[in-house]
Structure 1
Amino acid sequence: MDRLGALSAFMEAADAGGFTEASRRLGISPSAVSKAVIRLEERLRTRLFHRSTRSITLTPEGRLFLERCRRIAAEMEAAELDLAQIHEAPRGKLRFSLPSAGMPFMPMLAEFQKRYPEIELDIDCSDRLVDVIEEGFDAVLRTGDAADSRLMSRVIGGYRQVVVVSPDYLKRRAIPETPDDLKEHACIMYRQAATGKALRWPFRLGGKAIDFEPHAATITNLLEPQLVFARQGAGLACLPAFAVQDDLECGRLETVLDRYLEGITTFRLLWPSSRHLSPKVRVFVDFIAEHLPSKLQM
């Protein structure tokens, strides 16, 4: 504790440019400040200040030591804040953005809201590329790599894409055996928000991408319409496996061309980088990391 007091006296004297002003800030006598700094210099065997009758100035060693002391003080402040936040109840508005494919996760988010009733969830469900910082989001769920250095990132899990079709459709049309066969089928395509173009289906074989030109019978910018059209037998759709799990289990839909869909898409949770993570964001990140992976398993 004596060392911490000496460091505090040294930093105040350096900031104030004298022992008298430092003593006023610390609420002790000027001689106490001076003695604390002298003891510190003796322990370090280094002169920290050049002294005159009217002022003090830092030596080169003193400037170097002051930088280190400020980092120590900042770490202590951060530790105190972290401990204080442990006892603070998570509360306030939490803005969260996730892709339209994340609609099946809504029951999970409802469970989070029930567990933390003092957190107000403000959910943006869209496929546009949001600016997390500028738009004030506390967290976003997105696919792919994390490219923004202003954001923290945590991999939550991965999922497969599957091509699904209704049994009724297959009663009327031959089962496609290869991606090339899709030229003779009605495909329900997804329009990318960024480009306005239909998203190609991620067919691969032996690690090599397969290019094909589908017949787009329907194009939409949301997952739900694709799923409805597929259920109604209007064509084939390429969707995240977690979004069609119930349909596959009850036989409402079935998959085709599985051997050509070998890739895994990564889900990441991202939030603004900050030295102090607020309680509401901390519990949200931990909750999503605990519960979302089970929704992706298939």
Structure 2
Amino acid sequence: MEHLGALNAFVQTADAGSFSRAAARLGVSSSAIGKAVARLEERLAVRLFHRSTRSLMLTSEGSLFLDRCRRIFSEIEAAELELSQLREAPRGRLRVSLPLIGMLMMPAVMAFMRAYPEIELDLDFTDRVVDVIDEGFDAVVRTGEARDSRLMMRRAGGFAHRIVGSPDYLAAHGVPSTPDDLLRHACLHHKYPSTGKLERWPFLSDGAGFELVLPVTSVASTIEPQICLAEEGFGLACLPQFAISDQLRRGTLVSVLEDHLQEVGAFHILWPASRHPSPKVSAFVSFMADNLLRGPNG
């Protein structure tokens, strides 16, 4: 602590430009500041200031040492802030962007709200690639990885896709046994709203992925219409398993060609890079990373 006191005396003197002004800032005598700096110079065996009766200037060694001292005090301040935030309960407004299929994540979102009642969630649902920082989001949930050095990222779980159809459709049109069989089926596709491109079905053969140009019976920019059309027997759709777990459990949709698909999906939580994220952001990231996708595949 004595060493820290001497370092503080040195920093305050350098900032104030005199022992007397530094003493006034710290509430001690100017002689006490002068003695503290002198003892510091003696211990370091280097002169930190050029002294004259009219001025006090840093030496080159003093300038280097001042930069280090400021970093030391910055680290102390950051550590104190971090500890104070650990004691602070997560609260306040939390602005989050989720993909349009985020409605299917509402069980996890509602569980978070129950766990942290003092956090006010402001949810924005869009498949547009938002600018997290410029648009003022505290966090976003997205597939894919971050390409912005200003953002931190945490994986929130991988998920598999399933090719599904209704029992009536499969009874009428047959159950495909290979991906090539799909060329004779009605296929319901998802279109990326940002690019207009169709999402490819993640086929797997001999451990490697491959693409297959499939018939296009319908195109939708969100998952819900695909689920509805598939349940009503209009064709086969390739959907994230977590999005259709209820339909698979009830039997309104049946999965086919499971051995011919690879797991390619993953959600990530992104938030502005900070050495000490706020308690509300830390709480959201940790909770959603553990709860966003439940079960082995969602």
TM class by smaller structure: over 0.9
Count residues in correspondence.
Answer: 298
Aligned to 1:292: 292
Aligned to 1:258: 258
Q: How does 1:156-235 map to 2 (within 5 A)?
A: 156-235=156-235
1:123-151 Cα shifts (integer Å, max 9, x gaps): 12221111111111111111122211001
1:135-173 Cα shifts (integer Å, max 9, x gaps): 111111111222110011111211111111111111110
Q: CA deviation at 1:295?
A: 4.7
Aligned to 1:77: 77
Identity rate of aligned residues, in percent?
55
What residue identity is the alignment partner of 2:239? Answer: L
Q: Answer whether contact 1:9 1:37 (CA < 8 A) is retained.
A: yes
Q: How far apart in 2 are the matches of 1:192 and 1:214? A: 17
**CA RMSD in angstroms, aligned pairs only:** 1.5
Q: Answer whether contact 1:204 1:262 (CA < 8 A) is retained.
A: yes
Q: CA deviation at 1:296?
A: 5.5
Aligned to 1:115: 115
Q: CA deviation at 1:94?
A: 0.5
Q: How far apart in 2 are the matches of 1:76 and 1:296? A: 43
Aligned to 1:15: 15
Q: How does 1:240-279 map to 2 (within 5 A)?
A: 240-279=240-279
Q: Answer whether contact 2:159 2:266 (CA < 8 A) is retained.
A: yes
Structure 2 unaligned runs (5+)? none
What residue identity is the alignment partner of 1:111? Answer: A
Q: How far apart in 1 are the matches of 2:36 and 2:86? A: 34
Q: Answer whether contact 2:202 2:264 (CA < 8 A) is retained.
A: no
What residue identity is the alignment partner of 1:110? Answer: M
Larger deviation, residues 205-214 vs 111-120? 205-214
Structure 1 unaligned runs (5+)? none
Q: How far apart in 2 are the matches of 1:240 and 1:125? A: 18
Q: How far apart in 1 are the matches of 2:206 and 2:147? A: 28
Q: How far apart in 2 are the matches of 1:74 and 1:293? A: 39
Q: How far apart in 2 are the matches of 1:55 and 1:297? A: 71
Q: Answer whether contact 2:97 2:125 (CA < 8 A) is retained.
A: yes
Aligned to 1:44: 44
Q: Answer whether contact 2:9 2:37 (CA < 8 A) is retained.
A: yes
1:194–1:187: structure 2 CA closer, same or farther, 3 Å change rule? same
SS of the residue 1:276 aligns to = coil
1:33-74 Cα shifts (integer Å, max 9, x gaps): 111111111111221111111112212221111111111111
SS of the residue 2:292 aligns to = helix
Aligned to 2:66: 66
Q: How far apart in 2 are the matches of 1:39 and 1:154? A: 49
Q: Answer whether contact 1:101 1:240 (CA < 8 A) is retained.
A: no
- TM-score normalised to the size of structure 2? 0.95
- TM-score normalised to the size of structure 1? 0.95
